[in-house]
Structure 1
Amino acid sequence: MKKAVIFDMDGVLIDSETFYFERRMDFFQAKGIRPGSVQLKDYVGKSEEQTWRMLVPDDDQKRYMLRREYAEFRDKNRIDFTKALRDSVPIVLSTLQSQGITMALASSSPRSEINLMLEDCQLRDYFSFVISGEELQESKPHPEIYLLSKEALGCERNLAVEDSTLGIASAKSAGLYTAALKQPFPMNQEAADVVINQLEELLELV
């Protein structure tokens, strides 16, 4: 029986949620503008579009202009993916690969950020399929990203690894057994089939 593991990126492979949040808050502070929410939990697991609607909820034109300006700010203040990568990721991925497990990466992040992470951390060869939020009609918690991943992999058994409430809902709606990686900040992961403290625990699940 062919088995697959489908990983989310932010909060799972890389410890990035806090960095992204603080970078957005720094940008808005520099602009002298209060964002729609200053709570980290309101942004975890959201697509770029959902994030910006949270940051600037009531003014489409203002949102559009700030998003363009933020792109330049982001490029000047990039995350170091090699430092954000969880220490256990290389050994977990290589072990799964050696066991014949097919792997995919299904992230709401922009394709450019996903590609940078894969290149910087030298992880591209582990994944048979990669999909970003930009390529979807519907964002998490809609199951589209996991349904497309399942179809592309063509395996009989699929396990999703998520961290956010929205991501867990997406994977469960697609019919996947879902493991939630516990986070250092409050996050509702009750809908997951199992909550794990470390990625290494996946090796026992598959």
Structure 2
Amino acid sequence: MIKAVIFDMDGVIIDSEPIYQMWLEEFLEYQGISVPESELRTIPGISTQAFKEKVEKWWKCCGVTNKTGEEIDREFDTFCKDKKISYKNITSPYLKPTLEHLRNAGIRMAIASSSPLKNINQVTSEIGIDHYFDVKVSGEAFKHSKPNPEIYLYTADKLQINVNQCVAVEDSTYGIRAALNAKIKVIAKKDDRYGYDQTLADFIIENLNELPEVINKMFKKSTFIT
């Protein structure tokens, strides 16, 4: 029986990737760094550390060899510092009713996101969902990012629930592979904007309100209160 649902955040709980992509493109233009569209499409879903490695490579390809990824990342943070984002306005449809449904059914919930923990806490606080989650885990705590399964294995351990009793809700190729590598079944929230390969997921849903029915199908048992 399913005992826990582990959510990714960006792209699942909030539709933040278009905003982050816009800010990144503005930053690249400001810095005079030209990056192919195919490279920009690799950014959604990656960890902070992977982002630092990626931008350092971009700068070097443009002839800027005296900046580290750490320095570029700090400059990007400064660039975005005064930019405002309302997480309430980009909350995924049906999020709160779905979380309430899961909680009423006795399902434990967690967030396993590549975003910094500070950002995870800011999002859950602003949109009023912090109380639904037993565990919140950031990829910044691990040496290896998604698709490495470490974050999912750690989250399941913190929940004290076996991985075969967990379901992950993801969107990106990295996230889906991370959960599968941890032997956790995956439901992908459909997103065809960034070239994600979601074909490896056990199920693909359009909206979060489909979660209870899909989980029932996956485990072939009526788990939820209707």
Measured against the shorter chain, the TM-score band is: over 0.9
Please give the alpha-carbon distance, in whole angstroms, between the structure 2 residues aligned to 1:199 and 1:117. Answer: 17
User: Counterpart of 1:187?
Assistant: 196
CA pair 21-143 structure 1, distance change in 2 beyond 3 A? same
The code of the aligned residue for 2:101 comes to T
1:68 CA drift (Å): 1.5
Answer yes or no: is 1:74 the counterpart of 2:83. Answer: no
Q: Secondary structure at the match of 1:161?
A: strand
**Identity across matched positions, percent:** 35
1:125 aligns with 2:134: no
Aligned to 2:168: 160
- Secondary structure of 1:195's counterpart equals strand
- Matches of 1:138 and 1:61 in 2, distance apart? 23
Count of matched residue positions in the alignment of Structure 1 and Structure 2? 206
- Structure 1 CA distance for aligned equivalents of residues 75 and 36 of structure 2: 17
Q: In the TM superposition, what are the counterparts of 1:70-109 in structure 2 within 5 Å?
A: 70-109=76-115
- Kept after mapping to 2: 8 A contact 1:106/1:130: yes
User: Residue 223 of structure 2 aligns with which residue?
Assistant: none
Deviation at 1:146, TM superposition (A): 0.3
Query: Do 2:2 and 2:167's aligned partners in 1 also have CA atoms closer than 8 Å?
Result: no
- Alignment TM-score, normalising by the size of structure 2: 0.85
Q: CA deviation at 1:55?
A: 2.5
Which residue of structure 1 aligns with residue 22 of structure 2? 22
1:138 is aligned to: 144
Paired with 1:92 and 1:197, the residues of 2 have a C-alpha distance of 13
Partners of 2:55 and 2:72 within 8 A in 1: no
Matched, 1:175 2:186: no
Q: CA deviation at 1:64?
A: 2.9
Render the CA deviation track for 1:128-164: whole Å, top value 9, x for unaligned: 0000111112100000000001111122410000001
Contact 1:162 1:179 (8 Å CA) reproduced: yes
Give 1:40 deviation, angstroms.
4.3
Report the alpha carbon displacement of residue 112 of structure 1 after superposing the two structures with TM: 1.6
Contact 2:54 2:69 in 1 (8 A): no
The one-letter code sitting in structure 2 at the alignment partner of 1:195 is I
- The residue type paired with residue 182 of structure 2 is A
Larger Rg: 2
Aligned CA RMSD, in angstroms, stands at: 1.7
Matched, 1:53 2:61: no
User: What does residue range 31-50 of structure 1 map to in structure 2 within 5 Å?
Assistant: 31-35=31-35, 39-50=39-50
Q: CA deviation at 1:39?
A: 4.6
Q: Who is 1:196 aligned against? A: 205
Using the size of structure 1 for normalisation, the TM-score is 0.93
DSSP-derived class of the 2:191 partner: coil
Kindly provide the amino acid, as one letter, of the partner of residue 14 in structure 1. I
SS at the partner of 1:61?
A: coil
